[in-house]
Amino acid sequence: MNIEELREYCIIKPFVEETFPFDEETLVFKVMGKAFLLTSITSQPVQFNVKCDPEMAIELREKYAYVLPGYHMNKKHWNTIVCESNANRKLLKQWIDDSYQLIIDSLPKKVKEEMIGG
């Protein structure tokens, strides 16, 4: 997955915005103002941080060499995914989806109601 594919996959999700809150290289995708994916637009290969269930985070790190503890993040809740040639694209998308959903699930009830127009 290259940076353009990563961006396209993230930005099509509902209520997502892309920002550069830290510098001109660190692209952050947020849903309702909360980050679910961070990536450097210059890193090769592409790598990104996604939120993950703490137990699953450890399991994924043990199973896949391209899944690492979240770089510059809370290592309990975030993984860094390195998009190496052997990285499974379907899994990459699933982990992005999982991160997005974890953020949605953590939003206050009022914000969730706003999202669905309630």
What pLDDT is recorded for position 53?
Answer: 95
Instruction: Give me the average pLDDT of each 10-residue run along the chain (118 residues).
Output: 95 96 96 96 95 95 94 89 88 97 93 79
Integer Cα distance of 86 and 81 in angstroms: 12
Report yes or no: 52 and 77 within 8 Å, Cβ to Cβ.
Answer: yes
Unique residue bearing structure tokens 């961006």? 7
∠ CA 10-15-19, rounded to 5°: 60
Three-class SS of residue 112?
A: helix
pTM over 0.85: yes
Q: Sketch out the chain's domains with CATH numbers.
A: 3-115 (3.90.1150.30)
